[in-house]
């Protein structure tokens, strides 16, 4: 009997860490091994300056079908409500900790959905900075079929991203969304043709990799902070972030060349 392939594969391409969910025969259902490997990849991405972008993708009929419900941890019975709450907080293969770290890392993370993305796979994607969809992708939270809520990003981050209007649609009404509807909802940033999806995703990731890293990190923090405070305090966040960026030697050099009329090619325009 052949040894089972790793549940997550990684490769580095042009400063992009590509993490591929690798259980296509199981619809890329999330396992403890997958989350362990994913966390390792995430930390390597965080701690490696040469890596500018992280791309999460998969192959097969599903991007991800959610948690592997046939694993022991997924079906283990808890004896009290408080035990269930603690499981959500510190169990579930570390999902809460890992998804929080995705948001804290000051580099862009992209989730690319070539096909159906539901449950835990959608919750993981909600912590990414960018979500890209192929036209054949679709989205749902099947937890409602069992009379429960998606409780590892599903309510909290979906509501922040799409608002209460669409959160009700996906969670209360238990409705699925096509890629085009997900674009309308603000759940995904862009929908690409199936035929060119992989190329379009890499073009986008390479574009991100060329951006100023300090600006990207400050923008990620500032946007999150501004979403939590009022307009006036949001302005303070902008000023605070920019005060640091405008002391960056790269900015000072670039603005000096611009003022002098020197283009990127080194010639005066």
Per-residue model confidence (pLDDT) at position 268: 53
Per-residue model confidence (pLDDT) at position 179: 98
pLDDT tens-digit map of 212-254: 999 999 999 999 989 888 889 989 999 989 998 999 888 898 8
pLDDT tens-digit map of 40-51: 999 999 999 999
Percent of the chain with pLDDT over 70: 91
Quote the pTM value: 0.88
Of 87, 94, 71, 100, nearest to 148 by C-alpha is 87
Residues counted in the chain: 269
Q: How far is CA 92 from CA 72, 76, 77, 152, in A?
A: 11, 11, 13, 9
Per-residue model confidence (pLDDT) at position 1: 38
Percent of the chain with pLDDT over 90: 69
| Half-sphere exposure for 187 (CA within 13 Å, toward CB) | 32
Question: Where are the extended beta strands (E) located within the chain?
Answer: 8-13, 16-21, 53-58, 62-64, 109-113, 116-118, 130-134, 138-140, 177-178, 190-192
Indicate whether 32 pLDDT > 80.
yes
CA angle 25, 31, 32 (to 5 degrees): 150
Bridging pattern class, strands 53-58 and 8-13 = unpaired
Indicate whether 101 pLDDT > 90.
yes
Confidence category of residue 269, pLDDT binned at 50, 70, 90 = very low
Indicate whether 131 pLDDT > 50.
yes
Mean pLDDT of 204-218: 96
Indicate whether 133 pLDDT > 90.
yes
- Judge whether 49 and 214 are in contact, CB under 8 Å: no
Provide the H-helix boundaries in 105-248: 119-126, 156-167, 179-185, 197-209, 213-228, 231-245
Q: Which domains does the chain carry?
A: 8-209 (3.90.226.10), 213-259 (no CATH)
Per-residue model confidence (pLDDT) at position 78: 64
Return d(Cα 12, Cα 10) in angstroms, integer: 7
Indicate whether 52 pLDDT > 80.
yes
pLDDT tens-digit map of 58-86: 999 999 999 887 765 555 566 788 877 77
């Amino acid at each position: 009997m052949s040894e089972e392939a790793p549940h997550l594969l990684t490769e580095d391409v042009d400063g992009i860490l590509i993490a591929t969910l690798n259980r296509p025969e199981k619809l890329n259902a999330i396992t403890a091994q997958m989350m362990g490997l994913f966390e390792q990849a995430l930390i390597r991405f965080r701690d490696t300056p040469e890596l500018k972008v992280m791309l999460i993708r998969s192959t097969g009929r599903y991007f991800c079908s959610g948690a592997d419900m046939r694993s022991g941890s997924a079906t283990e019975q808890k004896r009290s409500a408080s035990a269930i709450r603690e499981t959500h907080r510190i169990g579930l293969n570390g999902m809460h900790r890992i998804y929080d770290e995705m948001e804290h890392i000051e580099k862009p993370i992209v989730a690319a959905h070539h096909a159906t993305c539901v449950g835990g796979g959608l919750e993981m994607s909600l912590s990414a900075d960018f979500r890209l969809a192929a036209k054949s992708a679709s989205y749902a939270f099947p937890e409602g079929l069992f009379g429960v809520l998606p409780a590892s990003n599903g309510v909290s981050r979906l509501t922040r991203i799409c608002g209460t209007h669409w959160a009700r649609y996906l969670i209360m009404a238990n409705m699925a969304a096509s890629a085009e509807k997900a674009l309308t909802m603000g759940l995904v940033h862009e929908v690409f043709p199936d035929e060119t999806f992989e190329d379009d995703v890499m073009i986008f990731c390479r574009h991100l990799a060329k951006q100023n890293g300090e600006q990207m990190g400050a923008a990620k923090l500032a946007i999150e902070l501004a979403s939590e405070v009022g307009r006036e305090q949001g302005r303070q966040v902008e000023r605070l972030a920019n005060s640091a960026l405008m002391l960056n030697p790269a900015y000072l050099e670039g603005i000096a060349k611009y003022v002098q009329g020197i283009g990127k090619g080194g010639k005066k325009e």
